[in-house]
Amino acid sequence: MERLAFSYGRSAESYDVMISSGSCLWTPDGNGVLSVLSQGKYWHIPGGILAPPEDRTRIVEQLKNVARENRVTILLFCVGPEEVGMFHNAGYEVSKIGEEPVLDLGRIDWKGKEFEWIRRQTSYCRRHGLEVVELVDPAERTAVADELMGVLHEDLQGRTYTHPLRLLEGEFDPHRLYRRRLFLARIRETNRIAGFLACSPMEAGGAWAFETYRKRKDAPRGTMPFLFREVIDRMQAEGIRTISLCLVPGKGVERDPSPSSYWLVRWGLQTWYSRLNFLFNSVGQNHFKSRFRPRYQDRYACITPKSSPISVLSFLSVSGGLSPHIGNTLRNLAKSMRS
């Protein structure tokens, strides 16, 4: 399974199959696998089809048969533009769910006015003794695992959702990283971790996703852009082709060209992105990621046989969207109304 996830994953969430609390759906020939988070009659599949490209069209048809035979609704998330045609042709309902910022490596030099903000943050962090190190040794990774979880929970402490949202933010387990790469931003003099970035492999390591990144509340200003820049430079020097900065949910859904798009998905995500940032700050996410001047590509949800209000509710339940921290929600709502 790890080999399939590493070799054939094409979305930021593909490698999460290695640590998912859900189940796995294998193809009859054993050459493909999908990660399934099920809730009753609704099977949510993040990360796409982990199989050789020549098998994917057949698997798309097989999934329709599975849905029909088991009387379930199958929902695949974060399908890319290069694969969405297969689902259209097979009669799936297709809805845009957001846009993914992607960096094409090879010519990023951080020069010019467009990268001025990145340069300022980098300079500030270097003056304040911040450094970036990659942990490769399994023993070193294990030694900092509990501290990383502490940083993650500290970063989420005051947010509406005090836990990562599955299906939207991926999953992170520092005790089970496998071929993920782990970078730390730490204070040079004390070795105290200020923030971290866990990167997931795609396309046999030719591309990587900046999937999980968190920082302490008292981390030096600019810790995350500094960490991103350092890792981008290292990966560019290694000859890696692309970096995904991961899905921005709701971005651009009003420009959905799919004729089969479900109105409730489109309306809900557009409302979330434009009006409900006290719940999940997609606009703030996009603002930060746009500083790196990425190109954007559409990402879709592909559903068979079709969506319904109950399937949307199931998505919210499985992702954790129905379990906000009430106190934080009220505080963040009040703050958004004052601004």
Q: Per-residue confidence of the chain (339 residues) as pLDDT tens digits? A: 999 999 999 999 999 999 988 899 999 999 999 999 999 999 999 999 999 999 999 999 999 999 999 999 999 999 999 999 999 999 999 999 999 999 999 999 999 999 999 999 999 999 999 999 999 999 999 999 999 999 999 999 999 998 888 877 878 999 999 999 999 999 999 999 999 999 999 999 999 999 999 999 999 999 999 999 999 999 999 999 999 999 999 999 998 878 899 999 999 999 989 888 888 889 999 999 999 999 999 999 999 999 999 999 999 999 999 999 999 999 988 888 887
Q: Are residues 181 and 87 in the same domain?
A: no
Does some domain include residue 287? no
Does some domain include residue 282? no
Does some domain include residue 266? yes
Does some domain include residue 292? no
DSSP string for 138-173? HHHHHHHHHHHHHHHHHHHTTSS-SS--TTTS----
Those residues whose C-beta lies under 8 Å from the C-beta of residue 239, and which sit 6 or more positions away, are none
User: Residue 1: which of 12, 11, 20 has the closest Cα?
Assistant: 20
Partner residues linked to 197 by β-bridges: 183, 213
Does some domain include residue 205? yes
Does some domain include residue 283? no
Query: Which CATH number belongs to the domain containing residue 195 in this structure?
Result: 3.40.630.30
Q: Are residues 28 and 50 in the same domain?
A: yes
DSSP annotation of 50 reads B
Query: Which CATH number belongs to the domain containing residue 50 in this structure?
Result: 3.40.630
Does some domain include residue 285? no
Q: Are residues 132 and 205 in the same domain?
A: yes
Within 13 Å, how many C-alpha atoms sit on residue 204's CB side? Answer: 3
Q: Are residues 80 and 127 in the same domain?
A: no
Q: Are residues 201 and 324 in the same domain?
A: no
Q: Are residues 202 and 144 in the same domain?
A: yes
Does some domain include residue 111? yes
Q: Are residues 176 and 70 in the same domain?
A: no
Q: Are residues 151 and 221 in the same domain?
A: yes
Within 13 Å, how many C-alpha atoms sit on residue 87's CB side? Answer: 31
Residue 32 domain boundaries: 2-100+256-277+297-338
Q: Are residues 112 and 146 in the same domain?
A: yes
| pTM for this predicted structure | 0.94
Q: Are residues 125 and 224 in the same domain?
A: yes
User: Residue 222: which of 124, 111, 288, 114 has the closest Cα?
Assistant: 124
- What total of structural domains would you count in the chain? 2
Q: Are residues 123 and 240 in the same domain?
A: yes
Distances from the Cα of 330 to the Cαs of 161, 277, 278, 279, 325, in angstroms?
A: 12, 13, 9, 10, 9
Partner residues linked to 74 by β-bridges: 43, 304
Q: Are residues 69 and 185 in the same domain?
A: no
Distances from the Cα of 88 to the Cαs of 6, 167, 261, in angstroms?
A: 26, 22, 11
